[in-house]
Amino acid sequence: MANATRLQGKACVVTGGSAGIGLAIVRRLIDEGAQVLFCGQNDESGAEAERGLDSADAHFMRADVGEEADVAALIAAAVERFGKLDILVNNAAKAAVDLIPDLSTEDWRRSTAVNLDSVFFTSRAAIPHMRANGGGSIVNIASISGLAGDGAYPSYCAQKGAVINLTRAMAVYHARENIRINALCPGFIETPATDAFKAVPGLLEDWFASIPAQRPGRPEEMAAIVAFLASDDASYVHGTIMVADGGVTASTGQPTQVPLG
């Protein structure tokens, strides 16, 4: 349940906030009292998301987070609008099947720009403003694919793994400035982006059966974790890699043992 005042007066930027996990994060932050500037690459879907949020505290801006100039403009716009920046959520991501022998250099660089470079660009632009404020919070949305390998998604795994260790490295240094930097690693979360899996008969049923919780996660569950990490309730949490995957990475992968007799 949202705490209507926990983030009161906080100024936030959320990347990839027009749909799915990102939109749920924007909604949760607003529900907890924050002001949010969120971005996406599509003006139409961003404007639709802003209308759906129906809040004077939610503002959309088109930005390609893989482009340095767009990110600089995004952070500058947030500071101009709100007068400060307290919270940054790096949610934008690009995932696709891209087997290494068939992957073009252009596609590798594009996915790296969205999944990894963006975290560098936003953090570099945001940290000086947080430092001037006397602190802040950055939450990077990584993935359990950054903790182990998914054979059909090698670039995504590599980039999310890099986000995880970038999170740790930044957290170690900037903790002394009261800037908390943490990451969330979701497992399978049911979003519009995962609807494509429904085209393969039986795939989702088998997938969910492999999750100890026996179901996919919901965007709202991820948003609740982000709100905690962004808030002062997590004031002593620095460099944590929080996993929310229904128990997937807790398993050895062996069949569940059933008592005999």
Whether pLDDT at 261 is above 60: no
Mean pLDDT of the chain: 95
Contact 126, 139 (CB under 8 A): no
Contact 12, 88 (CB under 8 A): yes
Question: For 58-116, what is each residue's pLDDT tens digit?
Answer: 999 999 999 999 999 999 999 999 999 999 999 999 998 889 999 999 999 999 999 99
- Average pLDDT score over residue span 30-56: 97
Q: Give the number of other Cβ atoms within 10 Å of residue 240's Cβ.
A: 17
Whether pLDDT at 260 is above 60: no
pTM metric for this prediction? 0.95
Whether pLDDT at 217 is above 90: yes
> What pLDDT, on the 0 to 100 scale, is given for residue 192?
84
What are the structure tokens assigned to 184, written together? 């969330």
**C-alpha to C-alpha distance for 124 and 180, rounded to whole angstroms:** 14
**C-alpha to C-alpha distance for 254 and 69, rounded to whole angstroms:** 47
**C-alpha to C-alpha distance for 45 and 43, rounded to whole angstroms:** 6
Q: Which residues pair with 39 in a beta bridge?
A: 61
Q: Which residue has the higher pLDDT, 192 or 166?
A: 166
Sorted by where each starts, the structural domains of the chain and their CATH numbers stand as 11-244 (3.40.50.720)
Catalytic residue among 153, 156, 173, 236: 156
Q: Give the number of other Cβ atoms within 10 Å of residue 95's Cβ.
A: 19
Question: For 124-141, what is each residue's pLDDT tens digit?
Answer: 999 999 999 999 999 999
> What pLDDT, on the 0 to 100 scale, is given for residue 78?
98
Q: Which residue has the higher pLDDT, 46 or 197?
A: 46
Q: Is 156 a catalytic residue?
A: yes
> What pLDDT, on the 0 to 100 scale, is given for residue 39?
98
